[in-house]
Every structure is written in C-alpha cells, then in structure tokens.
Structure 1
Amino acid sequence: MPSIQTVRGTVDTADLGVTLMHEHVFVLSSDVQQNYSQEWGSEDERIEDAVRQLTSAYDAGVRTIVDPTVVGLGRYIPRIAQIAKRVPLQLIVATGLYTYNDVPFFFHYRGPALDPFVGTQVPDPMVDMFVGDIRDGIAGTGVRAGMLKCAIDAEGLTPGVERVMRAVARAHHETGVPITVHTHPESGTGFEVKRVMCAEEGVDPTRIVLGHSGDTTDLDYLTALADAGFVLGMDRFGINLETTFEARADTLIEMVRRGYAERMVLSQDASCYIDWMEPATRAAVLPQWHYTHLFDDVFPYVLDRGIEDKQLQTMLVEVPRTFFAAG
C-alpha cells in the first residue's frame, strides 16, 4: 500500500481516516518568542494545552491532521514530536518556507541571489534543505516531512515568493511529496500557481492543494481551478473576519452540488496557540476558530441543506487518501 510520513513514523494512506488537511499546532514569531515570551507562559502548560485540544479533535472524529507549519511560521519539530507521542491522532508535518514578499536574509546572498555576482547560475540551497527534511528528517529529530508548503498572497508573485515556489516545485520532483500553497483567491493567485508551478515547473496540479480557496465566493474562479485538476482547500472555517460563516458554508454546498466534492478538502486553519493576536482577542473575535468547528457547526448546517454524509466522507477521507497515495 502507498504510505505517508507522520511524526510517529510511516503509515499506510489507507489508515489516515478523517483528515483535516490544513491545521497548525503552534504558529509563532520565533524571534519575538525567544525574547518576549511572557504571554507564551510555561512550555509544559503549552504542551498540555495542545494535547488537550488535539485529543478533543480526535474525540470529534479526526484521525489525521496535516500541519503545514514551516520556516516563517515558527516550526519547532522537537516540541511537536513530544506532543505527537501523547495524542491518539496522526500528525503530518511540512517543509518549505512561508513568505508573502521577500525571502529571509539567510538566503539573500546564497543560491540564485549570487547569480549576478558570479556570472553563472548557482543552485538554490532551499531545494536541498527541503529534500533533506523529507528524506532524512528535520533538525536531527528523525521526523520526516510529508508535505511541501509555500505561499502567495495579495502582494502577488514577488521575486522572493517566486523563488520559494520554484524551490518547492523542484523539491517535489526530487521526492514526490505533494504540495500545499497558501493562496489569496481575491487576487486570483491560484492562476499564478498554475502558471509557475504547473506550466513552467511541470508539477501535476492534482498534487497541489490550493489553500484558503474557501476565502472566496467566486464560483467561476473555483470551478476553473478545480477543472484544471487542483485540490481546493476549503480550509478556513471559523475565520469569519472578511467573510461570514454562511458565505463559506454556502459556497461549499454549491460546489458540492456542481459535482466538485472529489476536488475539495476541508479544514479550519486553526491552532492550539498563535501569537499573531492576543489570546483574549482571538477568543472574542473568532470564537468558532478551533479544531472542532466543522463538526460542531459546519456539518450540521450543510447536511441540513442538501449535502450528504457520503459527500463529507469524500472530502474528509477519500480525497486526502488519494492525494497522498498518488506519490
């Protein structure tokens, strides 16, 4: 059987079960946390809280969570490995780099950035870094990445974003590991992914999840990308700032009605702790943003409006299994 790497080791894709394709355990600003960590509190308390929240997800029916926390989002795999030992569900982690604009200064004078100075093409060290995370493990932990991740947001295809995108595509070709891309549907960035990663770098669109596709109600945009072969990440349920619960859910219902259940995955983009906002603010502004919002609120709403349970199972079980098995 095809297999996938999880934090605890290799599992058959047939054993993934209900899979949330885009959730985080922690999203952190590493430099800030290392110097101003009062809000973070005790490491032990954070781990205990993560174990509690992830166990609640398991109790709701989740069996696997894909955590696309990469460089730029505070990835620290030793902490994740501790948590994975104590929770019943499976965690799949990612490699890649998260930026909306420039690459970190570490890469400014490495790889392609040196081309104008040396007069020849220089290999991008990002590719070897990503491949190493997949083949050898991350940071000496032995935990191997099962997903690649990059991002393109409203800033568009900046030189830094394009560099990361191409490095992820090349690491994919070396390893066969699938890709998730943070996108900004309002700006049509899914089409930039199609041009750069697929037309120019040769990645099969069926191996790419276009994350945050559910941020739009533009059905023409969504159907065009689904028809091109991409998997659409309807994966921000609970983040109702620039949209509403009903808009997200009704868009999902209509896409299913049009026959696209086999081209979508579901998630919430939630986390146990994210330092992008104060915990009290998050709780007040985004009360539904947690691991069980789909089960508590979304599924009852969509089932009451025509989606069938077998269609939910397609998006939660069959599409993730097929996506990972294709490698």
Structure 2
Amino acid sequence: MPQVPTLHGPVESTELGRTYVHEHIFTLTADVQQNHPGEWGDEEERIADAAERLSALAAQGVRTVVDPTVIGLGRYIPRIQRVAERVPELNIVVATGVYTYDSVPAYFRYRGPAVGRPDPMVDMFTADITDGIGGTGVRAGMLKCAIDEPGPTPDVERIMRAVAAAHHRTGVPITVHTHPGSGSGLEAKRVLCDEEGVDPRRVVLGHSGDTTDTDHLSELAEAGFVLGMDRFGLNVETTFEARADTLVEMCRRGFAESMVLSQDASCYIDWIDPEVLPLMPQWNYLHIGEEVLPYVRERGVSEEQINTMLVDVPRRLWE
C-alpha cells in the first residue's frame, strides 16, 4: 500500500485511521508575526496549547489530520515539528502550494512565465514533496491552491496549473479552497481536470459545505470530486443546522463516498481579533465528534457512512 508522509514519518495509507483532511494548526500572517512578536505572545505557551488541543482531538479517536497551511498562510514547519513531538498518537500531514484569491505573491511575479522561463512554483512544490520542506526533512503529502469569489484570475490559474504539474510529477493529492456560492468548483474542474488532466478523485473541493445547494454539490460529486464538508463550527454566514442538514441530505442521496469532514479550525489564527473568537464557540477541533456526528446520526446517517467519510474516502486520496 502507498505510504503517506507525516511529521512522525511515513505511514501506510491503511493506517491513517479516522482522518480530518482540513485542519490548520497555526494560521498566521508571517510578516506581522516576525515584526510584531508581541501579538503572538509566548512561544512555549503556544506550543503547549496546540499540543493540548490536538491531544484532545486524538482522544476522540481521530488518528490523522491534514494541515493545508502553505505560502500565504504562515507555514513554519519547525514549530509544527515541536507540536507533533508532544502528540505522538496523532499523524500530521503537511501541504505545499500557494494560497491566494487573486494575485501571486510578489516573489513569483517576475519569475517564470513573465520572463519567458519555466514556472519556479512547480519545482518548489515538487521539492517540498520529494526532498522535504526547508531543510527539515518533513515532506509534504498534499498540494494546495485556491479559487474564491474573484474566480479564475490569470494568477490563480497559474498556481492551479503549477499544482497540477507537481501532482503529475509526484502523485500527491490536491485540495482546493473553493467558493461554492460562485460555482468556483466548476472552474477548478475546467483547469485542473479538463485542461490539465488531473483525476478528480484525487481532488478535494474544500469548503463545499459552505452551500446548501445540494444539486450543485451532487453535480460535483457525480463528476468524481471529493467534497470537503470541512468548515463545521464556522457558523458566521450560515448555521450549524444548515451545514449538518446538507451533509444529511448528501448522504441520503448516496454521496457518503464523495465527502470528507473537517472544521478548518486552528489552535491559533491571527486573522481574527481574539475578542471575536468567543462568538464562534463551536469552531474547534472537537465540534464534529461532540455535536455534528450525534446530530446526523439522529437524522439517519449510518455508522457505515460516517466511517466511509472519515476513514475510507481520506485513505483513497493517497491510493
């Protein structure tokens, strides 16, 4: 069976167990953190807090999380390594790629296609997967890109095509931040699959659960994609019931084999004023186990379907 790189070393895909495919550990603005460290606070306290939160998740029976923190989200692997050392019972898979809704980071603007040369992103992503990230020896096990409400801008398409090229070189699965309200999953299909030849079964369309349009989600599932029902607890523009009822309906339609579950939570995120976070009390690593699964069980989702979404579908991404 294929092996999946984790912070604890390679793991057989059959040993991943219950898996959340979209959970950040730290979501940070790198320039702010480097120049205004008072915002971050005490490093040791942050590490200890993250380890405690992830240990509680492991105690629920979750065995693997995928952390899709890449360029644009403050990825810093040495810090994640320190957290992982304190949570040996939890596999952490990290990612490579670029997160943006419109323009590439300035570093890439006048490199590659703009000056008539190959895109350096492809080699960078590939090296993260094959050699390891930043001299840590930790290899990425997921590729990440984004297409949000602005749609397929030239730079967004460029990143998506670089991700597709790295996927073809390495076989690593892809997760895409999408905006289902504007139908951006269909644009991901056009670029990644129709034009770049990626098998949709290897692609997670992240944040699919942000919509209650089950006809749209059914269309994407029927096209072969894995739908990321992965923002449980982030109930700002929707509700707990809307997210959970959408999952119930998709299971009723027979699409449990096309969905994965997560919360898109973080141990710490500097994008949101800390005083606002208490207004989102369900947005945490334990929400699915404590509240979502009991709710959907009561409405007809079977244990077999739950196991499919949490164990079988994530495993197949790497197979």
Q: TM-score range by the shorter chain?
A: over 0.9
Name the structure 2 match of 1:298: 292
The answer on 1:22 being equivalent to 2:16 is no
Match of 1:234 among 210, 216, 229: 229
The answer on 1:151 being equivalent to 2:146 is yes
TM-score normalised according to structure 2 size: 0.99
Q: How does 1:187-266 map to 2 (within 5 A)?
A: 187-266=182-261
Separation (CA, whole Å) in 1 of partners of 2:243 and 2:318: 25
Name the structure 2 match of 1:118: none
TM-score normalised according to structure 1 size: 0.96
Name the structure 1 match of 2:318: 324
Q: What RMSD, in angstroms, separates the aligned Cα atoms of the two structures?
A: 0.7
* Cα drift, residue 220 of structure 1: 1.3
Separation (CA, whole Å) in 2 of partners of 1:322 and 1:190: 20
* Cα drift, residue 47 of structure 1: 0.2
For 1:25, the aligned partner's letter is I
Q: How many residues in Structure 1 have an aligned counterpart in Structure 2?
A: 318
Separation (CA, whole Å) in 1 of partners of 2:303 and 2:275: 35
After superposition, what is the alpha-carbon deviation per residue over 1:257-314, rounded to whole angstroms, capped at 9, x for unaligned?
000000000000001000001222112x211000010011111111111111111111
* Cα drift, residue 39 of structure 1: 2.5
Could you tell me the percent identity over the aligned residues?
66
Match of 2:128 among 129, 133, 138: 133
SS in 2 for 1:313: helix
Name the structure 2 match of 1:99: 100
Name the structure 1 match of 2:31: 31
Separation (CA, whole Å) in 2 of partners of 1:254 and 1:113: 46
* Cα drift, residue 160 of structure 1: 1.2
* Cα drift, residue 150 of structure 1: 0.2
Separation (CA, whole Å) in 2 of partners of 1:103 and 1:21: 25
Separation (CA, whole Å) in 2 of partners of 1:289 and 1:224: 28
Separation (CA, whole Å) in 2 of partners of 1:95 and 1:63: 21
After superposition, what is the alpha-carbon deviation per residue over 1:110-144, rounded to whole angstroms, capped at 9, x for unaligned?
001213xxxxxx20000000000000000000000
For 2:287, the aligned partner's letter is H
SS in 1 for 2:251: helix
For 1:299, the aligned partner's letter is L
Name the structure 2 match of 1:2: 2
Separation (CA, whole Å) in 1 of partners of 2:121 and 2:132: 15
Separation (CA, whole Å) in 2 of partners of 1:279 and 1:56: 21
Name the structure 2 match of 1:50: 50
SS in 1 for 2:56: helix
* Cα drift, residue 230 of structure 1: 0.2
Name the structure 2 match of 1:119: none
Q: How does 1:106-125 map to 2 (within 5 A)?
A: 106-115=107-116, 122-125=117-120
User: More deviation in 272-281 or 71-80?
Assistant: 272-281
Gaps of 5+ in 1: 116-121
The answer on 1:272 being equivalent to 2:267 is yes
* Cα drift, residue 60 of structure 1: 1.2
Name the structure 2 match of 1:86: 86
Name the structure 2 match of 1:72: 72
For 1:12, the aligned partner's letter is E
Separation (CA, whole Å) in 2 of partners of 1:108 and 1:201: 22
Separation (CA, whole Å) in 1 of partners of 2:280 and 2:38: 23
The answer on 1:63 being equivalent to 2:37 is no
* Cα drift, residue 34 of structure 1: 0.9
SS in 2 for 1:209: strand
SS in 2 for 1:191: helix
SS in 2 for 1:297: helix
Runs of 4+ in 1 over 2 A off after TM superposition: none
Separation (CA, whole Å) in 1 of partners of 2:122 and 2:7: 21
SS in 2 for 1:233: strand
Separation (CA, whole Å) in 1 of partners of 2:136 and 2:317: 26
Gaps of 5+ in 2: none
Separation (CA, whole Å) in 2 of partners of 1:321 and 1:173: 19
SS in 1 for 2:216: helix
Separation (CA, whole Å) in 2 of partners of 1:23 and 1:102: 24
After superposition, what is the alpha-carbon deviation per residue over 1:41-84, rounded to whole angstroms, capped at 9, x for unaligned?
01111000000000010011110000000000000001111111
